[in-house]
Amino acid sequence: MTRLSTAKALGNRVADAYALITTGMRTRRCPENCGLMVRYRAVSDAEAKRLDAMAADHDGRHQSRI
Ligand SMILES: [Zn+2]
């Protein structure tokens, strides 16, 4: 990871924390940093799990970028 992308990831984390504080929205980002981001608020546990899974596992999106 380059210094720039580390700073960007840190900025994302700050933005996510800000969103959580101001709007109560939780943020899930792709661990591969493909840009996919899921934000949700006041969803059921089952729906939150589904969104988490979607944010963590979406290989089709990564393959289409190659
Ligand atoms: Zn991704």
Q: What is the mean pLDDT of the chain?
A: 88
So what's the pLDDT on residue 5? 81
25 pLDDT exceeds 60? Answer: yes
Q: pLDDT tens-digit profile of 40-59? A: 999 999 999 999 998 988 98
Cα 22 to ligand 1 centre (Å) = 26
Cα 63 to ligand 1 centre (Å) = 10
Give the residue extent of every domain in the chain: 3-63
| Residue 28: count of CB within 10 angstroms of its CB | 18
So what's the pLDDT on residue 64? 60
Cα 57 to ligand 1 centre (Å) = 7
So what's the pLDDT on residue 14? 95
* Bridge partner residues of 39 (DSSP): 27
Residue from 38, 42, 39 nearest 57 by CA? 38
Q: pLDDT tens-digit profile of 11-21? A: 999 999 999 99
Residue from 28, 34, 33, 29 nearest 61 by CA? 34
Cα 26 to ligand 1 centre (Å) = 17
Residues sharing a CB contact under 8 Å with residue 13, sequence separation 6 or more, in sequence order: none
Cα 34 to ligand 1 centre (Å) = 4
